[in-house]
Chains A and B, each alone.
Chain A
Amino acid sequence: MSDNMKRRDFLKGAATGVGVGLLGAMGLYSYSSVRKGHFPTTERKMTDIGTCRSVKVTNITETSWFDNGVLMGDIKGAGGLLVNQYDYNWPPFGNGKGLGKGSYEEGIEKIKHLLPNRLDEAWEIIEGNSVHPENAGGYAALVEVEEMSGNKRKFLLDVGWSYKWCDECFKREGIDTMLENKEIEALFFSHEHFDHFWGLPVALKYDPDITIYIPEGFYPEGLQYIKDCGHTGKLITVKNGLNPVIPGMASYVFAIPIICRVYGEQSLYFNVADKGLVSVTGCCHQGIIRFAETAYNEIKYENDNCHGIYGGLHISPFDDWDPKYDDLVISLGDYGFERIGCNHCTGVLCAKKFIAAGYPVVEGTAKFRSKDKAYLGNGDTITFG
């Protein structure tokens, strides 16, 4: 420095002063060879997925587990969050050897012959062999799409975890009958996690032939489980990226690592006529901002408007380098969603912050063991359009 002063002090004055002008630094931006590399301007692909008239989501169960403390205790005790979920010895893959000493093969061997029809008997065996079977709940939602013609189509998003709890929830919401009557045309799995996936035989008990969509990234045990549960229908593995399903509805698979050795998450996008984009997620491990940004870049939707969102709005659990921002709460406001429904993965604190921030959160009734009205709880519904 020619002025014999520290660059930091000097820069501070220059940057905060009034009327600062940079006189002699032209060409500086082209310092790096990286500059010459490819920085293509992001062009929005805006794929046309068509439109639908409305989307209704019924929360069959959002109580993935009943007690955080018990779940975290199990995870810690079994060796942590990198451990393969099939090794925890959770239901239904209990082998009687205790926490962290489970295996898919040994667990399924004990109940395979009872799937998918004799679930009460299977659950009795599971209860005897598994760690904390009473803590297992599940996540499952019914998605009803009204086409522009007025025709209604039904889809399941996830099937929960505990056979016992999920059967109870399915019956409560009439899902059992819908499946038996073949009213539900497909089952989408958001991801391979225990609380979204392991309740599969409950759905197959009522309709073993249902078409299943899984995101790319399932592990061999998960693929084998679908077979072992007695699935006789079509199994479609959805590749990473956009996958149009019916007019106005598409799924999107995000390639992301998730805890307990799971990989990849599939979420649903809808384009509701006159309203705009509606997003439905399981846990949204990809993060709500990436989720919304992906829609913005990939999909053409009505009025270029983000209309509604339902599901877990997962916050990155390690966003701890800057305490000044509450990313999710602040950033979500940028998208102007007009109707927000949260579930357990959002975190009740976060849902309450949304409400406090004045976001249009649709609150629930906190019935059927759901814990807080800040969520759309078990048995609650939300309609878009």
Chain B
Amino acid sequence: MVHFLDTLLPPAMQANPARAAQELPRALMTRTNFIPGVRHRLGWRGVRDCAKGQGGLTVRITGMDGVYGLKLLNFSETPTMGYATFHLTYFPTATESLIESFSIQAGLIAHENDYLDRIREFPLFPDMTALFGVGVLEACFHSEESGISLTLTAPENDIVIAQDGVVLDTPTGPIHAVAPGAEDQRLPAWDIAIPFFNALAASASYCLQTAPKSLIRQTRQAMLRTYGNHTSLHSTPAPDIQDLRLGLGWHCPVPESPEFDTPDTRWTAPETMPETFADAPWLSSELPGASNSLDKRTMGITERPQLIVLTGFLGSGKTTFLARFIEEQAGKNHFVAVIQNEIGQKGLDGKLLGQTYAVTEVDEGCVCCTLAGSLRSALSGILSEFQPDFVVLETTGLANPANLLSELADLDDLLNFASVTTVLDAAGAEHTLAEFEVARSQVRLADVLLINKIDRVNEATVAALKHTLRALNPSGDLHCMTNGDIQSTLLYGVNFRKKLRRPTPHIAPMTHHATHEDDHIHSALISLDTPIDRGRFERCVTALPDQILRAKGVVRFHDAQEPEIFQYVPGSHTLIPADQPHTDCFLVLIGQNATDVAKHVQTTIIR
């Protein structure tokens, strides 16, 4: 039966019951938290190891604003059983209504500036931790039966009386925070502790692939505590309140506690589960659908991928931002699918990303003009093959997102529309916005505006640009960055929970929205069948007229073996060796009068 716990702990650890018991909560939390879909389903919202001091875990649970802390109290073992107890604390946020129930002292600490820092390493602050205790967790590892049990003990209400009251000296004078003999604390400790216990127990059922087989519930009369200015803390029986103890066993019975009454509830499978626990999250070992899978649909997780429409004028840095975004999400085990299109017959940025992430290029041409139906088919293709957490629709720099919105509204069965994010080039944006209606439209519709390349301009330029952007879009979030480098949580919130202010995508455009056609922007393709002269090419590129807004391509020179990737925005261009073989070489010019300029370029560089 040893294999039953193998997923959780290796055989060497199981051979040491006391160690196994100490490791159990952390192993359960860590294993289930590897998988975003699973951890959300089980109720976890984040687990963090406290590395300093003697160790501990901070945990967030669905539905609770504050942070739980778990720390080992002590452990023991018999030849066949390891046993460990943990102190469970709950650190409420300063604005949470629960703060009313904690002691005055706890409330004051919760308002201190370094409260969050101290929570992160709470085992270093035992005095603070003592004020936030809500219960005790017992973990038991039964080596003979290869089973485990988890037990929670907490008072229904944890009451503390201030015999002499509590007076606080505030800027407006002393205030009687607690009257003499009144309650300084009345904490519904059991109700606070149980969400944590439920998530942990559900994780055990999931990891062990079996529901608990035994349950006991015990009670005893609770105590209340009294303290005074000149008397030490003392406990007295509290007639009307109880301490509760609930235990669950997987493949082994739950040890009873002699300090408690005979169990009022005792259940063993296959008896019918008492009604009180009929909806308990730990009752099933399986998440709906296939239990051990990351495939969200078969797990019954119906959350749709978040859709980000990424827009920005030519050369603003969308691809750089996207590459960084993908990297960041990959680090969190998230999967990003990218749909991009490219005005001008030749896609290139997909290759530049250097990843084989699910990149799908939609039909040739501009997404805003030729989308009709192709986006759904591109999406369906990606979604049938992968289960991405995010879909980024990277539009050509010439797309007007207004033209996309009605189409996107039709895709809400597949996607959760999250954001129109617009990237701007700090140096070139003023000119672009003045010249092109499409660029102005990109700004107007954005919920997130990112000013990129701020290292290349002075503060006055950034301030002026911000002013211009605010005039066009008073409500969108505005951020500055360099090299597209910015934390996604800053933009969209943790797990995309930030409320972004944007026009609803469900409102179909009522009027004609500008496209690049209105700005007379076109693209032209130059095929390069043979290697060309580097000097001539450089001279030609440097002399490109203002009408050309963007150029890019793959070029092979006489003086080099490998082809090079060419990127141009007005004022600068780069040539870097291609990191993968390219069989066809080409140049794409985008701008006004592109066709005529291309003819000129072609005759200049190919002779």
A-side interface residues toward B, CB under 8 Å?
A: 1-3, 6-8, 10-32, 34-35, 37-39, 42, 67-70, 72-73, 75-76, 79-84, 216-220, 237, 255-257, 259, 261, 263-264, 287, 289-290, 293, 315-326, 347-350, 352, 356, 371
Please give, as numbers and ranges, the residues of chain A lying within 8 Å of B550 by CB-CB distance.
Answer: none
Given contacts A27-B233, A217-B10, 8 further A-B contacts (CB under 8 A): A10-B175, A13-B170, A13-B172, A15-B111, A42-B53, A68-B355, A321-B67, A321-B494
Least distance between A374 CB and chain B CB atoms (Å): 11
Cα(A263)–Cα(B6), bound, Å: 10
Q: Which of B314-342 contact A (CB under 8 A)?
A: 324, 327-328, 330-333, 335
Residues in chain A near residue B229, CB distance under 8 A: 24, 26-27
**What's the Cα separation between A16 and B170 when bound, in Å?**
9
Q: Which of B94, B225, B485 contacts A352 (CB 8 A)?
A: B485
Chain B residues with Cβ below 8 Å from A348 are: 327
In the bound complex, residues from chain B placing their C-beta under 8 Å from that of A324 are 116
* Contact A12-B46, Cβ < 8 Å, known A19-B169, A27-B229, A38-B74: no
At the interface, is chain B mostly helix, strand, loop or mixed? mixed
Residue B502 interfacial (CB < 8 Å): no
CB of B77 within 8 A of chain A? no
Task: Kindly provide the distance from the CB of A63 to the nearest chain B CB, expressed in whole angstroms.
Answer: 14
Interface residue from B99, B105, B333 paired with A28 (Cβ < 8 Å): B105
Q: Is the CB of B48 within 8 A of A321?
A: yes
Roughly how many angstroms separate A293 CA and B357 CA in the complex, as a whole number?
37
Q: Which residue numbers of B lie inside 8 Å of A, CB to CB? A: 6-13, 19, 23, 26-27, 30-31, 33-35, 38-39, 44-49, 51-54, 58, 60, 67, 73-74, 87, 94-95, 97, 99-100, 103-105, 107-108, 110-112, 116, 120, 126-127, 129-131, 133, 160, 162, 164-172, 174-179, 184-185, 207, 225, 227-229, 231-233, 290, 292-295, 324, 327-328, 330-333, 335, 354-358, 386-387, 485, 487, 489-490, 493-495
Knowing A16-B111, A289-B51, A321-B46 touch, does A34 contact B73 (C-beta < 8 A)? yes
- The reply to whether A23 and B227 form a contact with Cβ atoms under 8 Å apart is no
**Contact check: which of B6, B171, B232 meets A13 at CB < 8 Å?**
B171
Cross-chain pairs A/B with CB under 8 angstroms, 22 sampled: A2-B178, A3-B176, A8-B107, A10-B177, A14-B111, A15-B112, A27-B227, A34-B126, A35-B127, A69-B355, A72-B335, A263-B9, A263-B10, A293-B51, A317-B331, A318-B34, A321-B58, A323-B493, A324-B116, A325-B120, A349-B324, A371-B354
Interface centre among B31, B45, B295 (most CB of A within 10 A): B31
Q: How many angstroms between the C-alpha atoms of A20 and B30 in the bound complex? A: 41
A321–B233 CA distance with the chains assembled, in angstroms: 35
A257 surroundings in chain B (CB, below 8 A): 8-9, 26-27, 30-31
Whether A317 pairs with B333 at a CB distance below 8 angstroms is yes
CA distance A319 to B30 in the complex (A): 11
Contacts of A17 in B (CB 8 A): 170-172
List the A residue with the shortest CB-CB distance to B105.
A28
List chain B residues, Cβ under 8 A from A31: 103, 130-131, 160, 185, 225, 227, 233
Complex alpha-carbon distance, A84 and B111, angstroms: 45
Taking CB as reference atom, which chain B residue is nearest A27?
Answer: B227
Determine if A34 and B87 form an interchain contact, defined as CB atoms under 8 angstroms apart. Answer: yes
Q: Is the CB of A39 within 8 A of B126?
A: yes
B294 & A318 in contact (Cβ 8 Å cutoff) = no
Expressed in whole angstroms, the Cα–Cα distance for A24 and B230 within the complex equals 10
What residue of chain A has the Cβ atom nearest to residue B92's Cβ? A8
Inter-chain contacts of B34 with A (CB < 8 A): 80-82, 259, 317-318
B236 vs chain A, min Cβ distance (A):
14
Return chain B residues, CB-CB under 8 Å to A68. 330, 355
Q: Is the CB of A7 within 8 A of B233?
A: no
When distances are taken between beta carbons in the complex, the residues of chain B under 8 Å from A38 are: 74
Out of A24, A28, A32, A69, which one reaches B357, CB within 8 Å? A69
Separation of A37 and B107 alpha carbons in the complex (Å): 23
Residues of A within 8 A of B39 (CB): 318
Closest to B22 in A: A255
Contact (Cβ within 8 A) A12 B94: yes
Residues of chain A within 8 A (CB-CB) of B176 are: 2-3
Contacts of B356 in A (CB 8 A): 67, 69-70
- Whether B330 contacts A72 by the Cβ 8 Å rule is yes
**Which residue of B110, B170, B328 is within 8 Å of A349 (Cβ)?**
B328
- Chain B nearest CB, measured from A358 CB (Å): 15
> Which residues on A sit within 8 Å (CB–CB) of B225?
31
Q: Which of A18, A30, A321 is B232 in contact with, Cβ under 8 Å? A: A30
Residues from chain B with Cβ under 8 Å of A237 in the complex: 12
Query: Nearest chain-A residue to B124 (Cβ)?
Result: A42
Contact indicator A14/B168 (Cβ below 8 Å): yes
Chain A residues, Cβ within 8 Å of B355: 67-69
Question: Are B293 and A23 interface neighbours, CB within 8 A?
Answer: no
The reply to whether A25 and B23 form a contact with Cβ atoms under 8 Å apart is: no
| Distance from B543 Cβ to chain A, minimum over Cβ atoms (Å) | 33
| A136 shortest CB reach to chain B, Å | 15
Q: Contacts A80-B35, A217-B12 known; A42 to B54 CB distance under 8 Å?
A: yes
Known: A20-B168, A72-B330. A82 touches B10 (CB 8 A): no
A85 to chain B, nearest CB (A): 12
Nearest-CB residue, chain A, relative to B185? A31
Give, as a whole number of angstroms, the nearest-CB distance from A17 to chain B: 4
- Using known A-B contacts A69-B358, A217-B10, determine if residue A320 contacts B495 with beta carbons closer than 8 Å: yes
| Cα distance A261–B228 in the bound complex, in angstroms | 53
**A30:B485 contact, CB within 8 angstroms:** no
Taking CB atoms, residues of chain A closer than 8 Å to B30 are: 256-257
Chain B nearest CB from A273 CB (Å) reads: 28
A256 to B33, CA, bound (A): 13
**How far does the alpha carbon of A80 sit from the alpha carbon of B206 in the complex, in Å?**
13
Are A76 and B177 touching (Cβ within 8 A)? no
A20 to B104, CA, bound (A): 13
| Residues in chain B near residue A75, CB distance under 8 A | 294
Residues of A within 8 A of B168 (CB): 14, 20-24
CB proximity of B535 to chain A, nearest CB, Å: 28
Would B12 and A218 count as touching, CB distance under 8 A?
yes
A287 → chain B closest CB, angstroms: 6
Q: Which residues of the other chain, A, contact B111 by a CB distance below 8 angstroms?
A: 11-12, 14-16
Q: How far is the CA of A38 from the CA of B233 in the complex (A)?
A: 18
**Contact present for B131 and A28 (CB under 8 Å):** yes
On chain B, the residues within 8 Å of A82 by CB distance are 7, 31, 34-35, 207, 292
Cα–Cα distance between A42 and B111 once the two chains are bound (Å)? 28
Closest B residue, CB atoms, query A259 = B34
The residue from A6, A13, A22, A264 contacting B10, defined by CB atoms under 8 A apart:
A264
Which chain A positions have C-beta within 8 A of B74? 37-38
A75 CB → nearest B CB, Å: 7
Q: Are A27 and B232 neighbours in the complex by a CB distance under 8 Å?
A: yes
A11–B130 contact, CB under 8 A? Answer: no
Residues of B within 8 A of A325 (CB): 120
Given known A319-B46, A322-B120, contact A27–B228 (CB-CB < 8 A):
yes
Residues of A contacting B120 in the complex (Cβ-Cβ under 8 angstroms): 322, 325
Cβ–Cβ < 8 Å partners of A69 in chain B: 335, 355-358
Question: Which residues from chain B contact A29 at a C-beta distance below 8 Å?
Answer: 105, 127, 130-131
Enumerate chain B residues within 8 angstroms of A326, measured Cβ to Cβ: 487
B104 and A25 within 8 A (CB): yes
Bound-state CA distance A3–B182 (Å) is 14
- Complex CA–CA separation, A75 to B387 (angstroms): 12
B333 shortest CB reach to chain A, Å = 6
In the assembled complex, the Cα of A73 lies from the Cα of B133 at a distance in Å of: 42
Please measure, in the bound complex, the distance between the C-alpha atom of A199 and the C-alpha atom of B166, giving whole angstroms: 67
Q: Which residues of B contact A256 (CB under 8 A)?
A: 30
Q: Which residues of B contact A15 (CB under 8 A)?
A: 107-108, 111-112
- Distance A29 CA – B332 CA, assembled complex (angstroms): 39
With A11-B108, A76-B295, A255-B13 in contact, is A35–B130 under 8 Å at CB? yes
- B131–A319 contact, CB under 8 A? no
Least CB distance, B40 to chain A, in whole angstroms? 11
Task: Quote the shortest CB–CB distance from B438 to chain A (angstroms).
Answer: 31
> Which residues of A are found within 8 Å of B485, using beta-carbon distances?
349, 352, 356
